[in-house]
Amino acid sequence: MKPGTLAIHGCTPPRADEPYAPSAPALEMAASFHYRRAADMTAVANGEMEGFVYQRYGNPTAAALQRQAALLEGGESALACSSGMAALNIALLAALRDRPASILTANVLFGETFQLLRLLEQQDVATRYADPCDPEAFEAALQAADTGCILVETVSNPLVRVTPMDAICAIAKRHGVPVVADATFTTPILSRPLEAGADIVMHSATKYLAGHGDVLGGLVICRAVHADWMQELGRHLGPNLGPFHSFLTIRGIKTLPLRMEEHSRNALRVARMLEAHPRVGAVHYPGLASHPDQAVADRLFDRGPDGDTLYGGMVGFEILDADEAAVFRFANALRLAVRATSLGDVHSIMTHPATTTHRNIGAGRRAQLGIGDNLVRLSVGIEDPEDIAADLAQALEQV
Ligand SMILES: Cc1ncc(COP(=O)(O)O)c(C=O)c1O
């Protein structure tokens, strides 16, 4: 079945032993489950009988979300976590089992991911950086030292570079190194990294998957070989997503295919409008012919119903000759797009990476990475595209 169908039917498969099935998963808020017979509880705890014992070991609503996520990504097992960062932590720990304590990752990453890697470094997990958009250089970096796992984002934040996941996974396979993919920006509607050869995929479900600005959550989906260890980490480290947020995420995923088509369509229109605007310099969007990764996106990303590639909803752009104060004037003048650090919601969100998501990495590193003070990140929502474009145009007049 196609992702658009799995998103809707994946969490509530009809049960053979019941004459009816609910149209939505049950919201089971219980922290623990009471057993009539003590032996049954032991059997469930030992994995000899299906069931639930205690919410940290799993609950029915999160289990429905995990089923939906595993189906969508084509994975064997999924774990719903309380945030994207919790999911990333679990994904890395799962990938590094019995491996050298060393991660090779992309030189441009979500700011908080740099922080997680810094914390791991304090636990003697070494990190090395290379450019995954240059597979030869990435392979050279891989060969330069022992590597426990590779971590890449399907689309990087905030410059919207597209990782050639197929090429990176082929290199990883040659060297026997597992790949963790952060697929937050693309979602399983644009691409499914496990199909390209990745081993573990994770999402901040806070973003497109839940999609409505009311959930903090994460998901890890993996191949069979990592499944037992990932689930064990989930049981004992306690990263689980609670039932209510699992319920909201399931509900969000049901409309994910429609939303991703609309985000992509709107973002392309907005990117074209920005590219033609006299106050805008570079525009970073893989749907534009000027973007260095358009061909990679066309190769890797799914197409929408009209046959056009879905490039996603994230656009970066640079306001010409703007310093921080000028960008803030632009930000404050926005009437429709909200000023916030999140992304992937139904509403448009403007973020200034230099003072928010990437402020902790320092000005020197930002400059090296091409994240200037004049760079704006826009998560294009699904409002009417003419209203979004008009809002941006009037705010650019205030710069
Ligand atoms: C690419 C990416 N990965 C991970 C995260 C972390 O997700 P969360 O905020 O849900 O912990 C984010 C959050 O913005 C993100 O953009």
**Mean pLDDT along residues 329-341:** 97
CA-nearest residue for atom 13, ligand 1, is 204
Residue 206 beta carbon below 6 angstroms from any ligand 1 atom:
yes
DSSP letter string, 218-259: EEEEE-HHHHHHHHHHHHHH--BPPHHHHHHHHHHHHTHHHH
d(CA 377, CA 353): 7
Contact predicate 334/395, CB 8 Å: yes
Q: Is 15 exposed, middle or buried (0-12, 13-18, 19+ CB in 10 A)?
A: exposed
CA-nearest residue for atom 10, ligand 1, is 84
Is the alpha carbon torsion for 295, 297, 301, 304 positive or negative? negative
Contact predicate 336/391, CB 8 Å: yes
Q: To test the ligand 1 pocket, which listed residue (82, 83, 85, 89) has its Cβ within 8 A of the most ligand atoms? A: 85
Helices (H), 110-239: 111-121, 135-144, 165-175, 187-190, 193-196, 224-237
**Mean pLDDT along residues 226-243:** 98
pLDDT confidence of residue 16: 74
Torsion, Cα 185 187 190 195, to 10 degrees, reads 120
Distance 94 CA to ligand 1 centre (A): 18
**Mean pLDDT along residues 356-372:** 90
- Domain ranges in the chain with CATH number 3.90.1150.10: 257-396
d(CA 139, CA 150): 11
Residue 369 beta carbon below 6 angstroms from any ligand 1 atom:
no
Amino acid at 273: M
Which three-class secondary structure state does DSSP give residue 104? Answer: strand
CA-nearest residue for atom 14, ligand 1, is 342
Residues 100-134 have pLDDT tens digits of: 999 999 999 998 999 999 999 999 999 999 999 99
CA-nearest residue for atom 12, ligand 1, is 204
pLDDT confidence of residue 338: 98
pLDDT confidence of residue 9: 85
Which three-class secondary structure state does DSSP give residue 281? Answer: strand
Question: Residue for token digits 């059997």?
Answer: 43
Residue 83 beta carbon below 6 angstroms from any ligand 1 atom:
yes
Distance 1 CA to ligand 1 centre (A): 28
Phi and psi, residue 280, nearest 5°: -115, 135
To the question of pTM greater than 0.95 for the whole model, the response is yes
Distance 16 CA to ligand 1 centre (A): 38
* Cα-trace Rg, the chain: 21
Count CA atoms within 13 Å of residue 12 on its CB side.
Answer: 16
Domain 3-254 fold:
Aspartate Aminotransferase; domain 2 (3.40.640)
Residue 112 beta carbon below 6 angstroms from any ligand 1 atom:
yes
Residues 280-322 have pLDDT tens digits of: 999 999 999 999 999 999 999 999 999 999 999 999 999 999 9
Contact predicate 261/251, CB 8 Å: no
Distance 85 CA to ligand 1 centre (A): 6
Q: Parallel, antiparallel, or unpaired: how do β-strands 179-182 and 149-153 relate?
A: parallel
- Domain ranges in the chain with CATH number 3.40.640.10: 3-254
Tell me which CATH homologous superfamily contains domain 257-396: Aspartate Aminotransferase, domain 1 (3.90.1150.10)
Report which of 174, 219, 222, 234 is spatially closest to residue 194, judged by C-alpha positions: 222
